[in-house]
């Protein structure tokens, strides 16, 4: 059957199937339920993860290139693309280029915003998380681990950390694994406070390798181990952002706005 209007959900992906079910699959289900008049497609951008799933689990998820081949073959005329990316970074830039390169002239393509695009997005995301962890005492800190990127969009992480303080959450900190603010930046800030215990939470869509290894792993360079070495007891929360209904609703809002384009 030829579908004339469609939605394409694009994610980086994860090799952790349990996290996939709680995050990316939930977003797909939400979109299917809220927009029943559209054909829903999905694609992942990480070729490495796609290869792992094919070899390890015999699970085939289309790449962006493969999804576009199907969309063109199905006769889609109006395509709305909703990335589940957090920021307007490198993965998002490449995704847009790949889709435009493969879209036929007959396809009208609209790109919706990643999660953290506007200042209001930032506030909504942080307020969603703060509502979940509002019972922390003044002697506890919540430390959010973001990914980080060499792309100029990395500045969003420092802006979010600043906004947390502006929203009167002095004991909540946001850093990155691969960029700025770094672990050492956060440690220096926390050591200036009266904090005696650390809660660690991934600031990523899924709770995959970074959450389970770089954040909560037992190796010496994990954030958990480094905080413990600095004298802080640590509690790890292995929960991706896609598991929070409030976060998923922001994606739905972005998609709804794009469909009105």
- Using an 8 Å Cβ cutoff, are 60 and 51 in contact? no
How many whole angstroms separate alpha carbon 144 and alpha carbon 85? 17
Q: Is the pTM value of this prediction over 0.75?
A: yes
Which residue in 111, 18, 98 sits closest to 62, CA to CA?
98
Q: CA dihedral in degrees (113, 116, 119, 121; nearest 10)?
A: 80
DSSP state of 210: I
Q: For 56-110, write each residue's pLDDT tens digit.
A: 999 999 999 999 999 999 999 999 999 999 999 999 999 999 999 999 788 999 9
What residues are labeled active site?
147
Listed as ranges, residues in the chain with pLDDT below 50 are 1-2
Q: Is 68 helix (H, G, I), strand (E, B) or coil?
A: helix
Question: Is 86:151 a contact under the CB 8 Å cutoff?
Answer: no
Of 118, 134, 145, 143, residue with least CA distance to 214? 145
Q: How far apart are CA 18 and CA 35, in angstroms?
A: 25
């Amino acid at each position: 059957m030829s579908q004339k209007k469609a939605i394409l959900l694009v994610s980086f992906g994860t090799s952790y199937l349990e996290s996939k079910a709680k995050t990316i699959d939930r977003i797909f289900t939400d979109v299917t339920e809220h927009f029943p008049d559209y054909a829903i497609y999905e694609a992942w951008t990480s070729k490495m993860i796609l290869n792992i799933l094919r070899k390890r689990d015999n699970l085939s998820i289309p790449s962006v290139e493969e999804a576009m081949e199907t969309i063109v073959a199905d006769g889609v005329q109006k395509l709305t693309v909703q990335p589940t990316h957090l920021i307007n970074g490198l993965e998002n830039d490449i995704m847009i280029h790949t889709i435009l390169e493969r879209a036929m002239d007959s396809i009208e393509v609209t790109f919706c915003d990643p999660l953290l695009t506007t200042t209001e997005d930032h506030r909504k995301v942080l307020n969603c998380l703060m509502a979940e962890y509002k019972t922390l005492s003044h002697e506890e800190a919540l430390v959010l681990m973001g990914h980080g990127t060499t792309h100029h969009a990395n500045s969003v992480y420092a802006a979010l950390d600043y906004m947390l303080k502006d929203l009167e959450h002095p004991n909540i900190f946001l850093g990155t694994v691969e960029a700025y603010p770094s672990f050492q930046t956060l440690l220096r800030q926390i050591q200036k406070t009266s904090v005696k215990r650390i809660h660690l939470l991934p600031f990523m869509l899924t709770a995959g390798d970074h959450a389970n290894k770089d954040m909560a792993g037992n190796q010496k360079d994990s954030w958990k181990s480094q905080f413990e070495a600095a004298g802080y007891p640590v509690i790890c929360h292995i929960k991706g952002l896609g598991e929070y209904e409030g976060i998923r609703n922001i994606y739905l809002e972005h998609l709804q706005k794009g469909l009105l384009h």
